[in-house]
Amino acid sequence: MPVLPVNSHSIDQENGEIWTGQADLQPISFKSDRLPDTPEYYVGLMSGTSLDGIDAVLAAFGGNSLRILQSHFQPFEAPLREELLALNQPGANELERMAQAANQLSRLYARAVQELLQQAGASAEQVKAIGCHGQTVRHRPDLGFTSQLANPALLAELTGIAVVADFRSRDIAAGGQGAPLVPAFHNAVFRHPERHRVIVNIGGISNLTSLPPQGKILGFDCGPGNLLLDGWIGRNLGQAYDKDGAWAASGRVIPELLERFLTEPFFAAPPPKSTGRDLFNLEWLGRFLHAGMAAADVQATLLQLTVESIASAILEHCGTASEIYLCGGGAHNAALVHRLPQRLTGKTVARTDDLGIDADWVEAFAFAWLARQTLHGQPGNLPDVTGARGLRILGAIYPA
């Protein structure tokens, strides 16, 4: 299988700047971090709360490095996006609609995999497994369940590749939140022996991973990332998202509205905690609005809510961190990226690109890694992050 230098990103385990050495992983029993000399190839698929489409990566694990060989983005068409958004709320004929959406999604996942492999000049036979997150439509760990739409059996049938899916349920069964799961991957690739780093993923929901040089790893959802921003601009301007945060930057923050947003009990709740559209949605937003508020000013205030919830979480729970690295779609929001360092003075704020992984592909890479953990019989959760009773092997395997 060729390695394509233009699209290839790698983490070298012997690089002193990017620490992924044995000392990080042994204390939490991730025993499969020693990579095989012969590379293993996995596909990671991620479609997140932003509902924009599918991130797909082809990843190689071998020697002393983890590497993205190829990446591909498969956008959602508007009807599918609208149906997935609607399925986040109770509705008529819900079970059948969810099943049909899962099938449609899985056909789109299969197309993304096929295009990814074609671009890489690779074949399905060379890939050991696909790690498929699925599309979250309900996340209620408080009630003991989470639901990520996918038909992994159909995906395995269409691609001829084994599929690992349903990663979150095992952690929830063990009393955990089932989220966030990516901190285990962040620990494997971004932790440094001397520097306290925080990795912040800003998707529909924002979450962070605190990686101190020593001591326990912390990770939790901070609150809304892009989803309220996307929903509000969609309602008012008919746009899918606020490019570069330009519309938010044109408005003025409404201080009293921001204060009311922050009265939401989720923000003050201690970790472990996770959230989603079940809580943060346009109905939630509407409870705080009143006549006379300019739409652009509401957008500016929503952007400040994302900034404030991230910054407050870092300052309260990761105060000694010196380096903050952003990933996810929100890492490209210029207004957000400009405001965040203003709340985190004295800390370096950059994108994970500086650590060797493009900010757009971190989550998809994580699910390729999680699929590998599953096939190697190794845990994929961090109990200190999710609140589970212990380390668990995550996911269900659907053979090719």
Q: Which of 229, 371, 232 is nearest to 303 (CA)?
A: 229
In the sheet with 40-46, reading across from the earlier edge strand, the strands are: 9-12, 65-75, 53-62, 40-46, 129-132, 163-165, 396-398
Q: What is the gyration radius of the CA atoms in the chain, in angstroms?
A: 20
Q: SS3 for 234?
A: helix
How many C-beta atoms surround the C-beta of residue 336 within 10 A? 26
From first to last of the 400 residues of the chain, give the pLDDT tens digit.
433 333 344 444 333 233 333 223 222 334 445 566 789 999 999 998 888 899 999 999 987 788 999 999 999 999 999 999 999 889 999 999 999 999 999 999 999 999 999 999 999 999 999 999 999 999 999 999 999 999 999 999 999 999 999 999 999 999 999 999 999 999 999 999 999 999 999 999 999 999 999 999 999 999 999 999 999 999 999 999 999 999 999 999 999 999 999 999 999 999 999 999 999 999 999 999 999 999 999 999 999 999 999 999 999 999 999 999 999 999 999 999 999 999 999 999 999 999 999 999 999 999 999 999 999 999 999 999 999 999 999 999 999 9
pTM given for the model: 0.89
SS3 149: strand
CA angle 86, 250, 261 (to 5 degrees): 50
- Tell whether omega for the bond before 180 is within 30 degrees of 0, i.e. cis: yes
Measured N-to-C along each axis, helices 94-120 and 152-159 cross at an angle, to the nearest 10 degrees, of 30
> What count of other Cβ atoms lies within 10 Å of the Cβ of residue 114?
15
Instruction: At 257, list the tokens.
Output: 């509205």
Residue 106's Cβ-count burial label (10 Å; 0-12, 13-18, 19+) is buried
Please choose, from the candidates 268, 328, 336, the residue with its C-alpha nearest in 3D space to the C-alpha of residue 299.
336
Characterize the bridge pairing of strands 197-202 and 163-165: unpaired
Could you tell me the domains of the chain?
A: 9-180+360-398 (3.30.420.40), 182-355 (3.30.420.40)
pLDDT confidence of residue 18? 33
